[in-house]
């Protein structure tokens, strides 16, 4: 899994089974352009757990293009972790 990530952002922890289920539900209901408050909080919480990198979810709620890019990258990287976890089950 680590070959898919940059040196700065490698997963440090795995998803718990509860986190896996939360992210699975998020993936089933997410849309590409809209991040609501609950999805931003979930992404920042899971990202902080897996990658040990903290983001302020309130500041990411501001609709700036750079914030959208950060949220998209977080989703993309968590997707890789999710898929790896899914294969291990």
Query: How many helices, marked H, and strands, marked E, lie in the chain?
Result: 4, 0
In what helix (H) or strand (E) does residue 52 lie, and over which residues does it extend? none
What pLDDT shows up at residue 70? 92
Per-residue pLDDT of the chain (89 residues; tens, 9 = 90+): 545 665 567 899 999 999 999 999 999 998 877 778 899 999 999 999 999 999 999 999 887 888 889 999 999 999 999 998 877 76
Distance CA 46, CA 69 (A): 17
SS3 33: coil
Domain boundaries along the sequence of the chain: 12-88
């Amino acid at each position: 899994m680590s070959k898919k990530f940059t040196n700065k952002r490698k997963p440090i922890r795995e998803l718990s089974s509860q986190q896996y289920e939360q992210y699975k539900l998020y993936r089933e209901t997410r849309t590409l352009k809209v991040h609501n408050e609950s999805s931003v909080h979930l992404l920042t919480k899971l990202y902080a757990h897996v990658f040990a990198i903290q983001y302020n979810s309130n500041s990411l709620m501001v609709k700036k293009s750079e914030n959208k890019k950060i949220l998209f990258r977080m989703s993309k990287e968590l997707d890789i972790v999710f898929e790896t976890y899914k294969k291990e089950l």
